[in-house]
Amino acid sequence: MAKLLDIKDLHVKYETSEDTFYAVNGVNFDMNEGEVFGLVGETGAGKTTTALSILKLLPKETGIITDGTIHFNDVEMVGLEETEMRKLRGSQISMIFQDPMTSLNPVLTVGRQISEAIEFHSKLNKKETEEEVDRILGLVGISPSRKNEYPHQFSGGMKQRVVIAIALVCRPKLLIADEPTTALDVTIQNQVLDVMSDLKKRLNTSMLLITHDLGIIAQMCDNVAIMYAGEIVEKGTVYDIFDKRTKNHHPYTLGLFGSLPSLQVNSKRLKPISGLMSDPTNLPTGCKFHERCPNCMDICVDKVPKSYEKDSHTVKCHLASDL
């Protein structure tokens, strides 16, 4: 498969009048065409900032890419002019934002909001545009007769389907889904995931899936990266990450799995990861996770660990030296 996205040594910071927040600190990963790639981590890990960097949607005054490259389809995105980025957004790369309630304009009909992307990126006439709106609404399971209704007339799950329709109407090569089911109940979550999975197969769209939910990762993804404090601490295929026979996992990955309920173990309490995410304005020395790590050694405090790699599996931890 051809490589679609290649991110190398990405560093992003937010500068305000009071502090500098180091949000992404040397992220590396790549994606192939047709692949679903999962980014997992706690709130504040840098997942959304990484996604916004790809689309160059960081806050203009505060968000700064300080280093690294982002290649999409052999185009270098860092430094690309805004006029060129607008041609790519929506047509080649689309994004489903976290909250469907705030992603839609309340004073425009859903049909109008879908047709905007078509009008900007294609030369279809009015009739053809209407037909395309009807087509994509049908694909996401919404009757085309509802295209003249407003967002407040839809349920949360239906709003999310509309957002997915807007993102996919121009058949992008890459769909970035940022917590696409967080605001939905469990039943609707499954429906939305089924819609996304079905559309991926039909349109052969690659997907960067950002979530806290390891269950969704196991269900949807081909490859996975675990993020902590702006770094990828473990990366591999979904089998590398979820297979208990894998020799080494990062302590943070084990902590994420340990905080999940299990049907096999009768436990009265879950086991959360102790402590809080590192302060992005004052990141710790050495391994960023050492303050919360149950296996912390002296070397972890002072020395940044290397990334140890075996086949498709990579772990950034001093304990993984014999990977």
Strand 174-178 to 93-96 pairing: parallel
149-192, pLDDT tens digit by residue?
A: 999 999 888 888 898 889 888 888 999 999 887 766 777 777 77
Residue 239 is predicted with a pLDDT of 92
HSE value, Cβ hemisphere, 13 Å, CA-based, for 130 = 6
CB 29 within 8 Å of CB 63 = no
Which residues have a Cβ under 8 Å from the Cβ of 214 and sit 6 or more positions away? 40, 256, 257, 260
Question: Would you list the domain boundaries of the chain?
Answer: 248-320
The low-confidence residues of the chain, meaning pLDDT below 70, are 1, 183-184, 245-246, 261-270, 322-323
Residue 67 is predicted with a pLDDT of 96
Residue 179 is predicted with a pLDDT of 86
Residue 291 is predicted with a pLDDT of 93
Residue 207 is predicted with a pLDDT of 93
Strand 231-237 to 223-228 pairing: antiparallel
Residue 267 is predicted with a pLDDT of 65
Residue 180 is predicted with a pLDDT of 82
30-45, pLDDT tens digit by residue?
A: 999 989 999 999 988 9
Residue 265 is predicted with a pLDDT of 65
DSSP 8-state assignment for residue 232? E
The one-letter code for the residue type at 247 is K
> How many Å apart are CA 231 and CA 252, to the nearest integer?
12
